[in-house]
């Protein structure tokens, strides 16, 4: 029977919204997870993902329609074997509602961007991951699903693990990362907090000092600036200052860096800030498998871990090993693409530019070796140095600012450990030295691009 697609809600209080754009046309094939439409209110824009597979049979509400009530049927999906003649059989009330790919909480009035849209992750043939046994079955998951599964698995494994943060429970997470956890683990282990980062981060640190294992979600690491004293002076320094008597096993996680058109106060990349601090471990993955395996490792780690996610990657899909206990060790980089002419080093969303650039460089006969750092502190210097000794050239890619950035640290380590192997100066590609603009065209200019990475790689190869 045909399945109706409902107008979804951006928040529990939303009653209506505008159907801004259809991204699929009638007659197009749809897979589960495909983004089919955009809806918006005065506070946010949201992508709508299909939860069923089939053909988009009929669009019931045209794009540009304003004030569409929540739960109004907006389209019909035909299953395999059904035709337009079956459209009349569609139920008046559908069994499923499509899910929001990116949702913004009303409490923060956080605007999601309409333009530019996050580009799909580059498709490359990566080197085999040493953490995954040969022949392992793989499942396709979005990054938000990989994160959710990592937390759920660790919460089942250890009763001391719990999640706290703004809207992580009743609202299922500002970005739906904690979806389903409240229903499985209850309100004592999935805790909605007031909008006070300094307060609930402190509660989390105190709980960790008593032996519990909190996962503290920040709606964005920009808001974690309110809690910086708790993170640095309490969580990071207490083990040392107590002479090893008091530990703090805690994970601070949430989106870091630029999203899309959320302006300077919601777009800062804090990678270099946290990676500067002794006592913290800092993780910034790119792939779905790494998000899952590294979050599980972070939850088990006896030290405070800063787990930097990226909002534009949440909806990206990837292959995740179907293992009973898939854990990736913190502190190990991964060579995602082998090459011999230049080493490109990045992490998190910077890998998007690095991999696209590697594809373009290959067309010109330049084979780039691409390293995904995955962990910023402790940094895997050995993997970087060994690659540079092979290629003789290095380019770093980051969305944060150049001054005192992670790229500067990488360049210093290459100079200290592989100076005699360099055939060209290490080159950095980074965000521009300006607060993030709100306008879409200026935001695009403020961020790195694959073209800039290509230009830098060709420069160090003297091409």
Burial class (CB within 10 angstroms; exposed 0-12, middle 13-18, buried 19+) of 156: exposed
What confidence score (pLDDT) does residue 130 get?
A: 63
* Catalytic site residue from 154, 217, 266, 316: 266
pLDDT grade for 42, boundaries at 50, 70 and 90? low
What confidence score (pLDDT) does residue 70 get?
A: 82
In the residue annotation, 341 being an active-site residue is answered as no
Structure confidence by residue, pLDDT tens digits, 252-307:
999 999 988 889 999 999 999 999 999 999 999 999 999 999 999 999 999 999 99
* Interval 378-402 mean pLDDT: 97
User: Does 99 have pLDDT greater than 50?
Assistant: no
What confidence score (pLDDT) does residue 113 get?
A: 35
What confidence score (pLDDT) does residue 425 get?
A: 97
Structure confidence by residue, pLDDT tens digits, 398-421:
999 999 999 999 999 999 999 999
Residue 25 near residue 57 (C-beta atoms within 8 A): no
Query: Higher-confidence residue: 373 or 30?
Result: 373
Distance CA 292, CA 120 (A): 19
Structure confidence by residue, pLDDT tens digits, 14-25:
678 888 899 998
Structure confidence by residue, pLDDT tens digits, 297-326:
999 999 999 999 999 999 899 999 999 899
Residue 295 near residue 307 (C-beta atoms within 8 A): yes
* Interval 55-71 mean pLDDT: 89
What confidence score (pLDDT) does residue 43 get?
A: 58
What confidence score (pLDDT) does residue 129 get?
A: 66
User: Does 54 have pLDDT greater than 70?
Assistant: yes
pLDDT grade for 128, boundaries at 50, 70 and 90? low
User: Does 229 have pLDDT greater than 60?
Assistant: yes
Distance CA 366, CA 399 (A): 24
- Comparing CA positions, the residue from 228, 368, 213, 365 lying closest to residue 298 is 213
What confidence score (pLDDT) does residue 125 get?
A: 43
User: Does 69 have pLDDT greater than 90?
Assistant: no
What confidence score (pLDDT) does residue 328 get?
A: 95
Structure confidence by residue, pLDDT tens digits, 152-201:
999 999 999 999 999 999 998 988 999 999 999 999 999 999 999 999 99
Residue 367 near residue 392 (C-beta atoms within 8 A): no
pLDDT grade for 96, boundaries at 50, 70 and 90? very low
Torsion of CA 31, 33, 39, 41, to 10 degrees: 170
Structure confidence by residue, pLDDT tens digits, 330-364:
999 999 999 999 999 999 999 999 999 999 999 99
What confidence score (pLDDT) does residue 234 get?
A: 96
pLDDT grade for 107, boundaries at 50, 70 and 90? very low
* Catalytic site residue from 197, 311, 369, 443: 197
In the residue annotation, 316 being an active-site residue is answered as no
What confidence score (pLDDT) does residue 134 get?
A: 81
Scored b (16 or more CB within 10 A) or e, 374-400 reads: bbbbebbbebbbbbbebbbbbbbbbbb
pTM of the predicted structure, to 2 decimals: 0.75
Q: Could you please report the per-residue DSSP string of 362-391?
A: HHTT--EEEEE--EEES--HHHHHHHHHHH
What confidence score (pLDDT) does residue 121 get?
A: 40
Neighbouring residues of 14: CB distance < 8 A, sequence distance ≥ 6:
41, 70, 106
What confidence score (pLDDT) does residue 135 get?
A: 84
Torsion of CA 123, 296, 347, 217, to 10 degrees: 110
- DSSP secondary-structure letter at 414? H
pLDDT > 70 fraction of the chain, expressed in percent and rounded: 88
What confidence score (pLDDT) does residue 41 get?
A: 73
Residue 435 near residue 264 (C-beta atoms within 8 A): yes
What confidence score (pLDDT) does residue 90 get?
A: 56
């Amino acid at each position: 029977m045909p399945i109706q697609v409902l107008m979804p809600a951006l928040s529990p209080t939303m009653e209506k919204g505008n159907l801004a754009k259809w991204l699929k046309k009638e007659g197009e094939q749809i897979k589960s997870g495909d983004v089919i439409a955009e809806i918006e209110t005065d506070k946010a824009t949201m992508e709508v993902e299909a939860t069923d597979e089939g053909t988009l049979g009929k669009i019931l509400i045209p794009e540009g329609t304003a004030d569409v009530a929540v739960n109004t049927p907006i389209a019909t999906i035909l299953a395999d074997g059904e035709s337009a003649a079956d459209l009349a059989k569609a139920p008046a009330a559908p069994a499923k509602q499509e899910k929001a790919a990116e949702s913004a909480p009303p409490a923060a009035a956080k605007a999601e961007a309409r333009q530019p849209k996050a580009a799909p992750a580059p498709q490359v043939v990566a080197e085999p991951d040493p953490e995954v046994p040969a022949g392992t079955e793989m499942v396709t998951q979005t990054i938000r699903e990989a994160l959710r599964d990592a937390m759920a698995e660790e919460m089942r494994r250890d009763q001391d693990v719990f999640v706290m943060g703004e809207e992580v429970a009743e609202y299922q997470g500002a970005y739906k990362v904690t979806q389903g956890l409240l229903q499985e683990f209850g309100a004592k282990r999935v805790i909605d907090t007031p909008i006070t980062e300094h307060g609930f981060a402190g509660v989390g640190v105190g709980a960790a000092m008593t032996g519990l294992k909190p996962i503290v979600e920040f709606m964005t690491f920009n808001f974690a600036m309110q809690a910086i004293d708790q993170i640095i002076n309490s969580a990071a320094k207490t083990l040392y200052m107590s002479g090893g008597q008091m530990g703090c096993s805690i994970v601070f996680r949430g989106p870091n860096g630029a999203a899309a058109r959320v302006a300077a106060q919601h777009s800062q990349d804090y990678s270099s800030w946290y990676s500067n601090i002794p006592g913290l471990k800092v993780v910034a993955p790119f792939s779905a498998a790494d998000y899952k395996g590294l979050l599980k490792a972070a939850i088990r780690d006896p030290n405070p871990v800063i787990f930097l996610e990226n909002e534009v990657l949440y909806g990206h899909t990837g292959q995740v090993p179907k293992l009973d206990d898939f854990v990736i060790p913190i502190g190990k980089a991964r060579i995602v693409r082998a090459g011999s002419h230049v080493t490109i080093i990045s992490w998190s969303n910077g890998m998007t530019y690095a991999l696209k650039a590697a594809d373009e460089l290959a067309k010109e006969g330049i084979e780039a070796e691409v390293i995904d750092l995955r962990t910023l502190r402790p940094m895997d210097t050995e993997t970087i140095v060994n690659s540079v000794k092979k290629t003789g050239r290095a380019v770093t890619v980051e969305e944060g600012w150049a001054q005192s950035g992670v790229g500067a640290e990488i360049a210093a380590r290459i100079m200290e450990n592989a100076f005699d192997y360099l055939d060209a100066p290490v080159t950095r590609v980074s965000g521009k030295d300006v607060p993030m603009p709100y306008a879409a065209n200026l935001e695009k200019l403020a961020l790195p691009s694959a073209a800039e990475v290509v230009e830098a790689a060709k420069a160090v190869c003297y091409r």
